[in-house]
Amino acid sequence: MPDIATWKKIGIMGGTFNPIHTGHLLLAQWAMEEAGLDGVIFMPTGNSYMKDKEEMLPGSERLAMTQLAIQDRECFSCSDLEVKRGGNTYTYETLEALRSMYPQSRLYFIAGADCLFNIEKWYCPQKIFENCVLLAASRSGAPMEALEKKRCELTEAYGAEILLMAFPNMEISSTDIRRRRRLGRSIRYLVPDRVREYIVRNHFYEGL
Ligand code: NAP
């Protein structure tokens, strides 16, 4: 178990992770190097109230898959904070909890850059920006000018600290993985082997 209290710069990789896949893992790895993070906490959501509930596995199963995905990396950890909290998952609550657990550390919330355009609809954006640096990954081909403009707007409105990070465009999504399972197609290499075996063994996402 990593000693997170010794990490000065902590990345938070929040996600529904239904299921976790190689894109999520690479994004966390990339963020570590880009921002010089000491490690990353993967945080599967409890109830992602902004997501379609169809095909949504329970938090306990998404947590189990996330644990399997990161178990061989000392600098990756997995938290059950949101899954255990119950109710709708609000990122600001998680960040406030982590701030009090690790008061000496700086928190970096890792996300796809598109979130810059909807984070103001999340619950209490002001409190999100007060508690973390937002590390936003822009996929290649995304219009950088629009992102830069939005970054400036959010900095002005909320005092937000936002780092834009270039990230390669990987056409891997949880939606596509579930679709492949429905069609009986392979998900090998899209998810870590241990996760694939867990999904197959438990017949997840079949015939939905
Ligand atoms: P998700 O679908 O599991 O994705 C997790 C993250 O990985 C997202 O930032 C996503 O960016 C990124 N990602 C997925 N596939 C990728 C790929 N191939 N290459 C690069 N990046 C990839 O989780 P989510 O439902 O978007 O939730 C993300 C976080 O936002 C969670 O922590 C959730 O709690 C939080 N959230 C909070 C609120 C709130 O507080 N009210 C509301 C909504 C979400 P993209 O989205 O750009 O794919």
SS3 assignment, position 183: coil
CA of 112 to the centre of ligand 1 (A): 6
End-to-end CA distance of the chain: 36
Test site for ligand 1: of 115, 130, 173, most ligand atoms within 8 A of the Cβ? 115
Which amino acid belongs to residue 178? Answer: R
SS3 assignment, position 95: helix
Could you list the mean pLDDT of each consecutive 10-residue stretch along the chain, which spans 208 residues?
Answer: 93 98 98 98 86 84 98 96 91 97 98 95 97 94 86 97 94 96 97 98 89
Token digits of residue 15: 């996600």
b/e per residue 86-111 (b: at least 16 CB within 10 A)? eeebbbbbbbbebeeebeebbbbbbb
SS3 assignment, position 64: helix
User: What residues pair up with 170 in beta bridges, in sequence order?
Assistant: none
Phi-psi region of 147 (alpha: psi -120 to 50; beta: other; left: phi over 0): alpha
CA angle 168, 172, 174 (to 5 degrees): 135
Q: Whose CA is nearest to atom 12 of ligand 1?
A: 112
Ligand 1 binding pocket includes 15 (Cβ within 6 Å): yes
CA of 54 to the centre of ligand 1 (A): 17
Ligand 1 binding pocket includes 135 (Cβ within 6 Å): no
Ligand 1 binding pocket includes 89 (Cβ within 6 Å): yes
Instruction: Confirm if 168 and 140 have CB atoms less than 8 A apart.
Output: yes
pLDDT of residue 2: 84
Q: Whose CA is nearest to atom 27 of ligand 1?
A: 15
pLDDT of residue 208: 56
Strand segments (E) across the chain: 9-15, 39-44, 76-78, 106-112, 133-139, 162-167
Atom of ligand 1 nearest to the CA of 170: 18
Ligand 1 binding pocket includes 16 (Cβ within 6 Å): yes
Distance CA 106, CA 92 (A): 15
Distance CA 19, CA 15 (A): 9
What is the reported pTM? 0.96
pLDDT of residue 93: 97
CA of 85 to the centre of ligand 1 (A): 19
CA of 115 to the centre of ligand 1 (A): 8
pLDDT of residue 143: 81
